[in-house]
Structure 1
Amino acid sequence: MQWKRHINGLAFSLVFVVSYFTNKFVLSVLKFTYPTLFQGWQTLIGAVLLLLSGKLGWVEMSRITRSAALSWLPGSCLFVGNIYAGSRALSRIDIPFFFTLQNSSHVVSYIIVKAVRREKTQWPKFISVCLMLLSALNLPRYDPQFDYSGYLWAVCHLLCVGAYRVFQVHYKSSNLSDLEQQCINYLFSVLLLAIAAHPTGDLTGALEFPSLQSHTFHGGCCASALLGFLLLLTTVKLKSGLSLEHFGVWIFLSKVTAMLISPFIFHMDINTPSLFCVVVSHAGEALLVYAQRDSQL
């Protein structure tokens, strides 16, 4: 029924906005910039909750075979790059600018698909990716708080997001559902991030973190892990009942909501040219959602 879809969409938007705000709070306000530990904690809790939910029958998950898990490992590597670089970037870049840069991941997806498949150019899609690319390229020039490291990590993030999107859509195996794919992502991430915690210096830095014993810090970390899991469930629930176009509409609305509210939650410095980049980028995203009505990606 239509009203159930709206409820699922509103639930997704709420969890999406609160999840990004919580992550931003821990990373920027509390300054816990140790992504191997922060993302390792989130993926560990996500894996435990997902496996527990599967055992209790709350979600549908089949037994994952070794061959299916191995064939999905390229996607898991891209997922780790996505969350690690995303944390680095989000800790240094304001949410509206982060989403503007993240939008250009569609440019990466578009280029990959055009390179591997020859198909007729859809002009609305081409114009939309051009708008998002131009916005992302011009944003560093006008960002009043430009952070070179943050933008470098944002580039790594959008490359991983764009490549992961293509891999997920064109993955040929029918053995893995979205939840099973994410379960592999979680388990692989926990293993890889745990191994990387000491060489990157995150473990040593975290042990000396000033707010380590703070209840605010503990609450923020617990909330971020739980919200990440809820975001997965609401995303899968929403995707199962909607077309790609309508799912894209809810993502777009969730981003816009987060950007409109974020200035009231976090301090940010924004000027007219940088705001124009944000608006143009999301106008391009809206056009892309329209252009994807008859497309797979």
Structure 2
Amino acid sequence: MNFGLGSVFCSFFVVSYFINKYVLSVLKFTYPTLFQGWQTFIGALLLLVSGKLGWVEISSIPRAAALAWLPGSALFVGNIYAGSRALSRLPIPFFFTLHNASEVISFLILKVTQRERMSWMKIFSVNMLLASAINLPIHDPQFDPGGYVWALIHIFCVGAYRVFQKKTSHLSDLEQQYINYVFSVLLLTFAAHPTGDLFGALDFPFLMSYQFHSGCCASALLGFFLLLATVKLRSALPLEHCGVWVFLAKVLTTGLSPLVFQIEVNPETLCCILCSLGGEALLVYSEKA
């Protein structure tokens, strides 16, 4: 049962990232307020319908709890917006190498605010993740400063969100995500005009193409199914075991991405990718130990 659930999670994870990368990089739809706004709108709609039909459990959310969660929703918007920008410019293995450095942000926040004691193994793994992220742009043969700046913002938002989620809310994962979706739709809708995405998308060459519409629909549906698979995985397995499946999903996505997308890698950047995966594996092991 756990193997089947983990396999479903990995499948949705891999295909979801590939579809998003296809729309963002191959079709070059680099309008994240619209792309992420569409995804979060469909996610909120499907969560609402699923809750009404009794397929998922979403309780009535108290206003005070929703307001207390808004800082987390703001970090979530920063995460998906900057993540889209970064993923559109960087290869998937590079994106994951940088994304993994969000553990460093979480580590530093907890160290400063909570003074949590960390094992030597966790400290070593976090340093591996940090070293990989620092050295990657130095040796990247196709260095894109914009991609790395957006990745840096994404890293901070993911790391801070992880800590906020751990320390703040008593809401369920689905309730948190429902608030995130609604807040994202509202904020991204209002931001579409000031950022120029609304008018820029009107000149998008693939706007009426089958590839664009099918890719956007698939990305929204897969994002929702990935959310359900993630929540189911967390409810069925201990947190440290969930980390193993997330790690395996990243390894599969990283390993398969060169077969789908063109990636230029040299020995130095390959070492960064492998070092990051090794650091994440050690981090997962340290959580189990």
TM range (shorter): over 0.9
Question: Partners of 1:264 and 1:179 in 2: how far apart?
Answer: 34
1:208-260 superposed Cα distances (whole Å, 9 cap, x missing partner)? 10110001100000000000000100000000011111100000000000011
1:185-206 superposed Cα distances (whole Å, 9 cap, x missing partner)? 0000000000000000000000
1:101-153 superposed Cα distances (whole Å, 9 cap, x missing partner)? 00000000000000012233310000000000000000001111110000000
Pick aligned residue for 1:182 from 165, 168, 177: 177
The answer to whether the aligner puts 1:138 opposite 2:140 as a matched pair is no
Question: Partners of 1:238 and 1:220 in 2: how far apart?
Answer: 26
Contact 2:111/2:117 (<8 A) preserved = no
Question: Partners of 2:224 and 2:253 in 1: how far apart?
Answer: 19
Counterparts of residues 30-179 of structure 1 (less than 5 Å): 30-171=27-168, 173-174=169-170, 176-179=171-174
Structure 1 partner of 2:197: 202
The TM-score with structure 1 as length reference comes to 0.96
The answer to whether the aligner puts 1:243 opposite 2:238 as a matched pair is yes
Contact 2:5/2:233 (<8 A) preserved = yes
1:67-103 superposed Cα distances (whole Å, 9 cap, x missing partner)? 1110000000000000000000000000000000000
Letter aligned with residue 108 of structure 1: I
Q: 1:61 is paired with a residue of what secondary structure?
A: coil
Question: Partners of 2:223 and 2:76 in 1: how far apart?
Answer: 14
Q: 1:91 is paired with a residue of what secondary structure?
A: helix
Letter aligned with residue 58 of structure 1: W
Structure 2 partner of 1:25: 22
Structure 2 partner of 1:5: 2
Question: Partners of 1:108 and 1:189 in 2: how far apart?
Answer: 23
* Structural RMSD (CA): 0.7
Letter aligned with residue 214 of structure 2: G
Residue-pair matches, total: 289
Question: Partners of 2:118 and 2:162 in 1: how far apart?
Answer: 19
Contact 2:110/2:116 (<8 A) preserved = no
Extract unaligned runs of 5+ from structure 2: none
Structure 1 runs of 4+ with >6 Å offset: none
Question: Partners of 2:153 and 2:69 in 1: how far apart?
Answer: 20
Contact 2:98/2:155 (<8 A) preserved = yes
1:293 Cα deviation from its structure 2 partner: 2.3
1:161-193 superposed Cα distances (whole Å, 9 cap, x missing partner)? 00000011111x43x110000000000000000
Pick aligned residue for 2:247 from 249, 252, 256: 252
Structure 2 partner of 1:280: 275
The TM-score with structure 2 as length reference comes to 0.99
